[in-house]
């Protein structure tokens, strides 16, 4: 055992963090069950038209202005208009016009030109997406299956490569990471679209990646240890040994994500935001959820494993 490694006693700190994390999981899961998730048209189907309007410094456009302009068209559609405030600059405002039924964005542009007294050049269409109800159903199906499949495959893989204590602990960490990220999205009413689901899956992969590095070290130290060694000491040691790597990798990833966030457009920003939360929480959970949980389980039930090994030795 190395005495000159500066050892932080993670497990004792974990005594406070772990219950806190569990509470946050419960809050997040209840948010998921009882509040409405802001689903994008990928899942709800419909048409969404995003555009920027060059604004007059004196006149800031309000959603009601746009609604009134569209009403003059006398269309049967019901429109929801949102302003993407994160994209607002001194020069322009960005709006999203959403409807369950298809509409021609050219009509909308014409209505704005005539009613809001804006020239054609001030209106810049960014993108229009139409998803049919059938496609919306398909996408919900794919998203659910992929999330379910990911969890299943991960469960199988970990159980094969590590023992069940590790498996349970890592699954707990994954639930922690994804539910908190989803919870934050729900709390702030952020839109969940297909790329966000992809971000969740990436978070799963990344968080697991991180957890496995720690577990791999714990496993190695366990194998090297003797019967009298305290599991908490081993866990602490392993985490300390992998600390440099954990911090470095998270840092490089976060730097890169931050750059993407600052520079990206509104689509990329949301996607990157999810990843940033996921990476940050994933790093935290590898130590204070997965690591702590494993430590706790091994302390309580580790004798089962040890007796199994003893039986094998006898044979």
Partner 1 sequence: MNENYLKRWITISSVLCLAIIFLINDFYFYNDHPFKKNKFLFDENTINLGLDLRGGSEFILSPRIDKWIINNHQADVSDAKKLANAITDLKNSNDLFTLENFIVYLNEYDIGISDIFPGENINSLTKNINTALNSNKDIIRKRIDTRGVIEPTVRVVGNKISVEIPGDQSVKDIESLITTSASLNFKQVLNAPPQGPLTIDNISIWLRSIKNFVLKFPSLRKHISIIPDFLETQSEKIDFIYLKKENIELFKDAVDQLKIYNLNFESRDFGYFVADNRFDILNHQFDEGDIWLGLLSPVNPDISGEMISKANLQSDGTSSAMYVILLEFNSVAERKWFNYTSKNIGEQVAITLDGEVLTYPTIQSAISGSSQISGFDNYLNAENITIALNNGKFNLPLQIDSIYKSGPELGEKMITLGLIAFFSGIACVMIFMIFYYKISGLIASTALLINILLMTSILSILGSTLTLPGIAGFILTVGIAVDANVIIFERIKEEIKKGTPYLSAVESGYSRAFITILDANITTILTALILYFFGTGPIKGFAITLTAGIICSMFTAIYITKTIFMTIYQTNLYKKLKI
Assess 128 for contact with partner 1 (CB under 8 A): yes
By CB under 8 A, residue 260 contacts partner 1: yes
Instruction: Check residue 4 and report its DSSP letter.
Output: S
Q: Is residue 203 classed as helix, strand or coil in its secondary structure?
A: helix
Distance CA 248, CA 210 (A): 12
Quote the least distance from Cβ 16 to partner 1, whole Å. Answer: 28
Query: x/- binding map, residues 76-115, to partner 1, per CB under 8 A?
Result: x----------------------------xx---------
- Count of residues that bind partner 1 according to CB under 8 A: 67
Closest CA to 298 of 177, 164, 194: 164
For residue 83, give the 3-state DSSP assignment.
strand
C-alpha distances (whole Å) from 182 to each of 160, 191, 192, 243, 263 are 29, 11, 9, 27, 24
Residue closer to partner 1 by CB (options 58, 119) is 119
Radius of gyration of the chain (CA): 25
Provide the minimum distance between the beta carbon of 309 and partner 1 in the complex, in angstroms, as a whole number. 21
Residue 47 three-state SS? strand
Q: Which of 66, 118, 208, 234 binds partner 1 (CB under 8 A)?
A: 208
Interface residue with partner 1 among 1, 8, 60, 251 (CB under 8 A) is 251
Q: Compute CA 48 distance to the chain's CA centroid, rounded to the nearest angstrom.
A: 23
Of the candidates 134, 226, 227, 228, which one interacts with partner 1 according to CB under 8 A? 134
Alpha-carbon gap, residue 106 to 27, rounded angstroms: 44
Select from 216, 222, 229, 299 the one that contacts partner 1 (CB under 8 A): 216
By the 10 Å C-beta count (0-12 exposed, 13-18 middle, 19+ buried), 88 is classed as middle
Which residues are CB-contacts of 104 (< 8 A; sequence separation ≥ 6)? Answer: none
The correct pick among 244, 311, 312, 313 for binding partner 1 (CB under 8 A) is 244
Complex with partner 1: residue 225 or 299, whichever CB lies closer:
225
- Is 49 within 8 Å of 97 (Cβ atoms)? yes
Using CB under 8 A as the criterion, what x/- string covers residues 141-160 for binding partner 1?
A: xxx-xx--xx--xx--x---
Kindly list the residues in this chain that would bind partner 1 in the complex (CB under 8 A).
Answer: 52, 76, 105-106, 124-132, 134-135, 137-139, 141-143, 145-146, 149-150, 153-154, 157, 161, 194-195, 198, 201-202, 204-206, 208-210, 212-213, 216-217, 241-242, 244-245, 248-249, 251-257, 259-260, 263-265, 267-268, 271-272, 275
């Amino acid at each position: 055992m190395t005495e000159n490694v500066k050892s932080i006693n993670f497990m004792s700190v974990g005594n406070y963090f772990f219950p806190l994390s569990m509470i946050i999981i419960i809050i997040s899961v209840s948010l998921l069950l009882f509040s409405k998730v802001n689903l994008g048209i990928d899942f709800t189907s419909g048409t969404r038209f995003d555009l920027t309007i060059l604004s007059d410094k004196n006149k800031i456009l309000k959603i009601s202005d746009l609604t009134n302009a569209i009403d003059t068209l006398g269309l049967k559609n019901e429109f929801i208009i949102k302003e993407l405030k994160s994209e607002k600059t001194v020069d322009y405002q960005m709006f999203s016009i959403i409807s369950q039924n298809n509409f021609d964005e050219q009509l909308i542009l014409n209505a704005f030109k005539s009613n809001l007294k804006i020239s054609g050049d001030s209106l810049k269409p960014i993108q229009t997406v139409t998803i049919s109800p059938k496609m919306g159903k398909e996408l919900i199906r794919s998203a659910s299956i992929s999330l379910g499949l990911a969890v299943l495959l991960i469960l199988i893989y970990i159980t094969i490569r590590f023992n069940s204590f590790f498996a349970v602990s890592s699954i707990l960490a994954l639930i922690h990471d994804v539910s908190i990220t989803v919870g934050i999205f729900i709390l702030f009413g952020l839109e969940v679209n297909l790329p966000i689901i992809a971000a969740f899956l990436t978070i799963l992969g990344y968080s697991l990646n991180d957890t496995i590095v720690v577990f791999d070290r714990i496993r190695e130290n366990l194998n090297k240890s003797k019967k009298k060694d305290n599991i908490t000491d081993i866990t602490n040691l392993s985490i300390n040994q992998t600390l440099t790597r954990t911090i470095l990798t998270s840092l490089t990833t976060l730097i890169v994500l931050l750059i993407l966030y600052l520079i990206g457009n509104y689509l990329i920003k949301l996607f990157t935001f999810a990843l940033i939360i996921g990476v940050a929480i994933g790093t935290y959970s590898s130590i204070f959820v997965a690591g702590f949980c494993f430590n706790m389980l091994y302390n309580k039930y580790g004798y089962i494993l040890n007796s199994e090994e003893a039986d094998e030795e006898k044979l």
